[in-house]
Amino acid sequence: MSMLLDIAGFHAAYIRAIDQDDLERWPDFFADPSFYRITTAANVAEGLEAGVVYADSHGMLRDRITALRRANIYERQRYRHIVGLPALLDTPMRAETPFLVARVMHDGKTDLFATGVYRDEFVTMNGALKLARRDVILDSTRIDTLLAIPL
């Protein structure tokens, strides 16, 4: 399979785990240690390294899920990730992939929750792709409510 197909398959499995509430499998998509952050396009444009969410190990990713399960915010609404076609970057094992997330409220109303791009660096472990680094770069600067779900 080509790299493009491999990455497409990776994304499909990643968002499926999240959208069907299989959150405990989320850390498995990352190498350990790895780098994960959620930031904004505005922050990236200013060269800011900080993110609104940050993790560098499976332990930190798992803690996030545990907190989410306790807060129980996730249950009240559903999310649907749609991932576009990945753009392979010139550097091997790197890709950028646009995404959007729709949110379905408990009363059934659906809105466009978030858009942005995954800037990813992959490694291969036992023949499977893992994220060595994922920068989730959100288009919007209004991100307070975004902290609820993995992106």
Binding residues for a copy of itself, rule: CB under 8 A, are: 1-2, 4-5, 8-9, 11-13, 15-16, 19, 41, 78, 80-88, 96-100, 102, 104, 107-117, 139-142
Nearer to a copy of itself, 55 or 120 (CB): 120
Least distance CB 27 / a copy of itself (angstroms): 18
Least distance CB 22 / a copy of itself (angstroms): 12
Please answer whether residues 113 and 143 qualify as being in contact, where contact means their C-beta atoms are separated by less than 8 angstroms.
no
Please answer whether residues 40 and 138 qualify as being in contact, where contact means their C-beta atoms are separated by less than 8 angstroms.
yes
Nearer to a copy of itself, 60 or 130 (CB): 130
- Could you write out the DSSP letters of every residue in 84-119? -PPEEPSSTTEEEEEEEEEEE-TTS-EEEEEEEEEE
How many Cβ atoms are within 10 Å of 48's Cβ, its own excluded?
A: 11
Least distance CB 142 / a copy of itself (angstroms): 3
